[in-house]
Structure 1
Amino acid sequence: MAEKLRRPVIGITGPRSGSIGPRACIQVGVWLAGGRAVQLRPGDAFADHRLDGLVISGGHDVEPVLYKAEAEVQGNYDPERDRFEGAMIDRGLERGIPILGICRGAQLLNVHLGGSLFQDLRKRRRSTSHRRTLLPLKTLCLRRDTLLHRITARDTMKINSLHNQAIDRLGAGLRVSGTDLDDIVQAVEDAGHPFRVGVQWHPEFLLYLGAHRRVFRALVRAAGGSGV
């Protein structure tokens, strides 16, 4: 009985310091979905944890050297975090556990799988504002026959936007599952895995909306072996 009641353990990565608010909100999303969160940062002995799932959280830009590009803008980089989260992604891929990348996390997952990024989205905005906001003011268009479409049961939904970079060339095994009104990639997934998803927005700040809670629910269900 105790084993049946065990909450799947979800690792949440972040920088060595800071990002307390976003990681706390992710932890709440995981808890509401029936999981138990473990916060992981550079320097932690993450091998000591038995993880059933993994969330790569948002934050600073991914260093361009990781996708063999020159810096086009003055970015805010954290090489230590890049290395740590790269190792966590390796571990997650090796073990086949569910992975959710959020904003920077989606970008890093894509880069880690051989993809690349657009470093400055301002010149690519035509139909949407480049203004960053926690509020769900931008439109996500989900593609049919994708995991995210099935999870959310939506063709379109409102999302927030805190990013200035986005996915360009897709990493190995990934496909686009959602874009915004400027056709900028907002969600990717691995169709060959039960739950390997990257979202460019921040669902942890939109837990008051059911469609965003369902993203965490699907992650925890997959981590618990229940599927989505």
Structure 2
Amino acid sequence: MRPIIGITTYVEPATWGVWRDLPTTLIPYDYVAAVSQAGGRPVLLPEHDDTDVLEILDGLVLAGGPDLNPEFYGAEPGPHTVSRPDRDRAEILLVHRALELDMPVLGVCRGMQLLVAAAGGTLHQHLPDVLGHERHRPAPGVYGEHEATFVPGSRIAGLMGDDLAVRCFHHQGVDDAGKLTVTGRAEDGLAEAVEDPGHSFVLGVQWHPEVTRDERLFGALVAATGKR
């Protein structure tokens, strides 16, 4: 039986058919396709303050999305921060319980930032104020593209090999990774990958591997479920 991989989701107004602006649980199909292609059985996880669902999962994908509420890393919201408090509360519970269970976890973009907050780290709330450019989110709906460097011997270095190109879309980023280890950085020094050596598989990436259906990362998550 294929490993069951939970994917966190949005609740956003959506329009289809005769329905207009209906509150909807959704996620870009790329996540589902990437998990399925890698050999997992994707299951969408609606926002809910209940971690019991982890008992029937083999792995967890923390998907991208809106900004993380700064209260989770001890800061006040800046003028550019737009968060979804209900999703934040639900997912921080999932993260802590998944770590307790030593469940394989892959955090994508916002998901990586959630891992950092859970590990006691902090975020930059608006990167242009820190870096002086907007190359990580060049325009609405347009992914930034750049190369990253990875720490030799790290999990992410082994997965990426010589292919250093990543596609990103975010305006927040890691300031202090807390208990996590930064194993990848962008050309401007921003953290692009974090890992937790104290767990069997906890990997966060600031870019969007689901867009390219990157089987290296999703395949590693699925493979890790067999080592629990």
TM-score range, shorter chain: 0.7 to 0.9
Equivalent residue of 1:16, what SS? strand
Distance of aligned partners of 1:134 and 1:203 in 2 relative to their CA distance in 1, 3 Å threshold: farther
Instruction: Report Cα offsets for 1:80-103 as digits up to 9, x if no partner.
Output: 000110111122111101001111
Deviation at 1:53, TM superposition (A): 0.5
- Alignment match, 1:164: 171
Equivalent residue of 1:203, what SS? coil
Distance of aligned partners of 1:21 and 1:54 in 2 relative to their CA distance in 1, 3 Å threshold: closer
Deviation at 1:194, TM superposition (A): 2.5
> For 1:134-213, what aligned pairs fall within 5 Å after superposition?
135=143, 137-154=145-162, 157-172=164-179, 174-207=180-213, 212-213=214-215
Distance of aligned partners of 1:128 and 1:141 in 2 relative to their CA distance in 1, 3 Å threshold: farther
- Aligned to 2:44, which of 22, 25, 39? 39
- Aligned to 2:67, which of 61, 70, 79? 61
Structure-2 separation of matches of 1:190 and 1:107: 13
Q: Which moved more, 1:128-137 or 1:193-202?
A: 128-137
- Alignment match, 1:123: 129
Deviation at 1:25, TM superposition (A): 1.0
Deviation at 1:125, TM superposition (A): 3.1
- 1:106 is aligned to 2:127: no
Structure-1-length-normalised TM-score = 0.86
Please report the RMSD computed on the Cα atoms of aligned residues, expressed in angstroms.
Answer: 2.1
**AA in 2 matched with 1:161:** C
Structure-2 separation of matches of 1:127 and 1:44: 37
**AA in 2 matched with 1:164:** H
- Aligned to 1:16, which of 2, 5, 11? 11
Structure-2-length-normalised TM-score = 0.86
Contact 1:102 1:199 (C-alpha < 8 Å) held by counterparts: yes
Q: Which moved more, 1:136-145 or 1:55-64?
A: 136-145
Equivalent residue of 2:36, what SS? helix
Structure-1 separation of matches of 2:134 and 2:187: 7
Structure richer in strand, relative to its length: 2
Equivalent residue of 1:55, what SS? strand
Determine what percentage of the aligned residue pairs are the same residue. 37
Contact 2:11 2:26 (C-alpha < 8 Å) held by counterparts: no
- Alignment match, 1:3: none
Distance of aligned partners of 1:28 and 1:137 in 2 relative to their CA distance in 1, 3 Å threshold: same
Q: Which runs of 5+ in 2 are unaligned?
A: 13-23
Q: Which runs of 5+ in 1 are unaligned?
A: 1-5
Deviation at 1:138, TM superposition (A): 1.1
Contact 2:34 2:218 (C-alpha < 8 Å) held by counterparts: yes
